[in-house]
Structure 1
């Protein structure tokens, strides 16, 4: 069954702009032009061509209909904008699929998970043992 993705985008609820806002604000923070994003080394595919095109990015930031980004595009954006892939996935899920990720009201749980993902297995094990001391549980390595 063929699905017209552009038609789907024109029918979506345009009030959700999570990814658009995140990308627009982050690009502004970095003072990075549309061309700068397109030409960034983190945005080049194996063939040397940009993964994120200027036109698509411009439409995304303006809230115009776009084809939702897939994992390669989100990875390129994460690299170019120095934003975690998880944060971009959450924003894309919210904007294009209506998925709202809930971590904690303070955002601390998400920050801890993102930090833990950068730890070595040994560091994670040490952290797990430390956390186990707070609730009295024991965890075998």
Structure 2
């Protein structure tokens, strides 16, 4: 594990730490973990298994991540980053200014049509790069 990775938390750690910080039982947290998009709730046993960091636990999908973010009162990007690290060994790279990370977090808040427009703009911009000035 690199020095950068040692500071990262797994989703299991984020869920357990935040639940305790909020003073919630797993039952109370489960009642709060409802995906805003689908209305689907996360069962208490899933939260317990996640906190226990069970090796055979399937990676959560976006509705589960959204539900956890809502219940834990955390940005979805924080939950996604922790899940990516725990289940896929993915670490997020941040720009020095933090602006790129903010862009990604805000991008996830856009509806699909808005996301398509932003991606088209980025494609157009990167296709016509200005000449490098020495």
TM-score (norm 2): 0.61
For 2:31, the equivalent position in structure 1 comes to: 39
Equivalent pair of 2:11/2:86 in contact (CA under 8 Å)? yes
For 1:101, the equivalent position in structure 2 comes to: 92
Q: Secondary structure at the match of 1:113?
A: helix
For 1:90, the equivalent position in structure 2 comes to: 81
Q: CA deviation at 1:51?
A: 2.3
Bigger-Rg structure (1/2): 1
For 1:61, the equivalent position in structure 2 comes to: 51
Q: CA deviation at 1:55?
A: 1.2
Q: CA deviation at 1:62?
A: 1.5
Residue 19 (1) aligns with residue 15 (2): no
TM-score (norm 1): 0.58
Q: What is the aligned length? A: 102
Runs (4 or more) in structure 1 with deviation over 6 Å come to none
Q: In structure 2, what is the Cα distance between the partners aligned to 1:39 and 1:82? A: 13
Which runs of 5 or more residues in structure 2 are unaligned? 1-7, 110-134
Equivalent pair of 1:17/1:63 in contact (CA under 8 Å)? no
